[in-house]
Amino acid sequence: MEKGVMLPEGIWKSFACKEQDIRSFSPLTLAYIGDCVYELIVRTVVVERGNRQPQKLHRESAGFSRAGTQCRIYEALLSEMTEEEADILRRGKNAHFHTKARNATPGEYRKATALEALIGYLYLTGRMERALELLKVGFCKCEMNL
């Protein structure tokens, strides 16, 4: 199999982005990109299971993106974290929020945001294999069929 371009690296080169110290990004910035990456992972797996109507695809994938679900994954992964990853989770959980979750408790929302921050951090640092590994473990521990 041919080796592809790392997505963040390809984007940076294609759009002449200036180099940033990702460690200085706010946890909410990391969660912003992590939310998208998480959603892309879930949607990719759902689509790979077969061609269906968009509303059926959405229904299947939506449950994985709820704050309550992400909170369960966060809790399942706590024992799997490296020190660096645990630090990113801590920063994400303790971020100063300007919005409220509609269908989640504040605690669930904070943990979901922390998970998204970690996924965003791993994506931006080129460690997607680790993000995929953690999510797979989290889904398995939570007995989610993805």
Nearest to 70 by CA among 44, 47, 93: 93
35 is catalytic: yes
Catalytic entry in 27, 33, 35, 91: 35
- Is the Cα torsion angle 10, 126, 26, 64 positive or negative in sign? positive
Nearest to 116 by CA among 130, 131, 101: 131
Residues with a catalytic annotation lie at 35
